[in-house]
């Protein structure tokens, strides 16, 4: 039973446009959400996070939106750049991460075309 779902395996976007990556979750106990970016042959790197007490968090070109009632979060990248091409993982944890582990989605491969 997948608790964190990324239903789009891939996404292709033109450089300069907006990229929107989506993530759904089923566990209502999740209260901390993160996005990681992963390049081939490297480990995932932390991108941005959001606590359940907020509905939006912004960091430069990256914004994460959280809709708790829909159990849905999204990552917006504006403007998209070719260097953003990577696999993006959504992750969630319960109890503000106090259990010391995250549940990851399967990832969405973003391709940004020049």
Partner 1 sequence: NAGVTQTPKFRVLKTGQSMTLLCAQDMNHEYMYWYRQDPGMGLRLIHYSVGEGTTAKGEVPDGYNVSRLKKQNFLLGLESAAPSQTSVYFCASSYHVLNSPLHFGNGTRLTVT
Q: Least Å distance between CB 31 and partner 1?
A: 9
Phi-psi region of 69 (alpha: psi -120 to 50; beta: other; left: phi over 0): alpha
Q: Least Å distance between CB 15 and partner 1?
A: 27
Nearer to partner 1 by Cβ, of 61 and 106: the residue is 106
Q: Least Å distance between CB 54 and partner 1?
A: 12
Nearer to partner 1 by Cβ, of 40 and 114: the residue is 40
What are the DSSP calls for the chain, one per residue?
--SEE---SEEEEETTS-EEEEEEE--TTEEEEEEEEE-TTS--EEEEEEETT-SEEEETTEEEEEETTTTEEEEEESS--GGG-EEEEEEEEEGGGTTS--EE---EEEEEE-
Nearer to partner 1 by Cβ, of 81 and 98: the residue is 98
Site residues (vs partner 1, CB under 8 A) = 4, 6, 9, 32, 34, 36, 41-46, 49, 51, 89, 91, 96-98, 100-107
Q: Least Å distance between CB 93 and partner 1?
A: 9
């Amino acid at each position: 039973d997948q608790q964190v779902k990324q239903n789009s395996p891939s996404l292709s976007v033109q450089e300069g446009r907006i990229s929107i990556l989506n993530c759904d979750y089923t566990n209502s106990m999740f209260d901390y959400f993160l996005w990681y970016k992963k390049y081939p042959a490297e480990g995932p790197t932390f991108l941005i996070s959001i606590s359940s007490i907020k509905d939006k968090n912004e960091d430069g070109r990256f914004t994460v939106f959280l809709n708790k009632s829909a159990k849905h979060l999204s990552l917006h990248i504006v403007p998209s750049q070719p260097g953003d091409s990577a696999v993006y993982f959504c992750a969630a944890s319960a109890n503000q991460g106090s259990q010391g582990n995250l549940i990851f989605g399967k990832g969405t491969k973003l391709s940004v075309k020049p």
